[in-house]
Structure 1
Amino acid sequence: MLFHVRMDVAIPRDLDPDERDTLLATEKARALELQRNGTWLHLWRIVGQYSNISVFDVESTDELHEILWTLPLFPFMKVQVTPLAQHPSALAAQP
């Protein structure tokens, strides 16, 4: 199942700088791991915002929920999830 996920991040400005650096490094490592294993298919930055648009490929909504909750930055995110279905006019849908 494919899901379009928008993540808007708001890290508190008063967070300890060392804690922030550790948090960001841990988040990056987790994102890279999920991309390498084929779960996080696309990761795009939204210009001018601390936000991204992503596409995840998972077996279920429960799996996506668990993945999102394990992201180190999740406590600082507003997340919007949209399930995706193949469009009949897409090249991939053509015989």
Structure 2
Amino acid sequence: MLFHVRMDVNIPRDLPASEAAEIIAKEKAYSQALQESGKWRHIWRIAGQYANYSLFDVKDNAELHELLTGLPLFRFMKIEVTPLLRHPSSIRTDDT
């Protein structure tokens, strides 16, 4: 299943810089591993914001929930999820 996910990050200003840097490094490694696996198909930064739009390709809602809650920055995020279906007028054959 494909999911469009918006993630807005709000790291508290009083979080020590070293702790924030460590969490951000873990986040990058985790997200890149998911991208390499094909589960996190695309990620785009939203200009001027600490936010992104992403496209996930996972088995079901439960798998997406597991991946999102596993994000090291999850506790600092507001996340909006939209399930996607292939449009019947699409000429693309490589999207499910």
Partner Cα distance (2:90, 2:11) in 1: 38
Q: Which stretches in structure 2 are left out of the alignment for 5+ residues?
A: none
Segments of 4+ moved more than 4 angstroms: none
Q: Secondary structure of 1:91's match?
A: coil
Alignment of 1:70-85 (within 5 A): 70-85=70-85
Q: Which amino acid aligns with 2:49?
A: Q
What is the aligned partner in structure 1 of residue 54 from structure 2?
54
Shift of 1:10: 0.2
Amino acid in structure 2 at the alignment position of 1:30: Y
Residues 32-43 of structure 1 aligned to structure 2 (within 5 Å): 32-43=32-43
**Structure 1 residue 87: deviation in Å?**
1.1
* Unaligned stretches of 5+ residues in structure 1: none
Query: Which secondary structure state, in structure 2, belongs to the residue aligned with residue 92 of structure 1?
Result: coil
Q: Which residue of 1 aligns with 2:92?
A: 92
SS in 1 for 2:25: helix
* Residues in 1 aligned to 2:17 and 2:63: alpha-carbon distance in whole angstroms: 32
Partner in structure 2 of residue 10 of structure 1: 10
Q: Note the C-alpha offset of 1:90.
A: 1.5
- Could you say what the CA RMSD is over the residues aligned between the two structures, in angstroms? 0.8
Task: Report the identity percentage.
Answer: 58
Which letter maps to 1:35? Q
> What TM-score, normalized to structure 2?
0.94
Counterpart position of 1:19: 19
Distance of 1:23 and 1:75 partners within structure 2: 11
